[in-house]
Amino acid sequence: MKNIIRIFITIIFVFIATTFSQNDADKVLNDLQTKFDTIKDLSVEFTQSGDGKSKLAGILFIKKENKLRIDTKNLIIVTDGTTSWSYNKKENKVIISNYDENDPGVFSINELVYDLPDESDIELSNDNGQNVLKLTPNSYEYSFDSVKLWLDEDNLISKVVLNDAAMGKVEVKFSNYRLNQNLKDSEFSFTPPEGSRIIDIR
């Protein structure tokens, strides 16, 4: 009888711990989404690496709705929510395409903050004082294994780690956020440089 009571109490404690843990994860996610609800535009520096090796660094600009610009040493990617431009500086080549909201890529903060959590199991942990949300997709819409989001004291994403069986681990670090600068729409349009090779696939 004592063993049955002990097992029953253990089950209750596990249930309570799991419930509180899930509630904490939901609260941290809600705080993150509430923060991004207040952001009309932002710029942030980033570095991207794979398997510990630096591959890409630059500045990311975002403006609601669906406006994005990525500036790196050799590449500029711009979208105004209708058209996308990808300019390779070394090759002096511009690829123009229709914007596809279903192809968010690594840098879609909207996807990470709002859409992916609805299709994922969520776990919360802590790393050196930062909350870490682990999102594990539970639908076939996403092909990767999991994404971890590190959140700083301002509820901004400081690091993203994508784990994928095919690509391996991809890590993106964000720093020096600047919020609500009233970025001009012209920042999210692109005019191909004179003499550049233009490939229009719209």
Q: What is the pLDDT of residue 51?
A: 72
Q: How far apart are CA 117 and CA 148, in angstroms?
A: 11
Query: What pLDDT was estimated at residue 54?
Result: 65
Q: pLDDT by residue (tens digit) across 20-36?
A: 356 789 999 999 999 99
What per-residue confidence (pLDDT) applies to 144?
86
pLDDT single digits (tens) 81-123: 899 999 999 999 999 999 876 654 445 777 888 888 999 999 9
Show the tokens assigned to 198. Answer: 């233009």
Per-residue pLDDT, 38? 95
Q: How many Å apart are CA 57 and CA 140, to the nearest integer?
A: 31
Q: Mean pLDDT in the chain?
A: 84
Q: What is the pLDDT of residues 124-172, one digit of tens each?
A: 998 988 999 999 999 887 888 999 999 999 999 999 998 888 778 889 9
pTM over 0.85: no
Q: Is 15 exposed, middle or buried (0-12, 13-18, 19+ CB in 10 A)?
A: exposed
- Domains identified in the chain and CATH numbers: 2-200 (2.50.20.10)
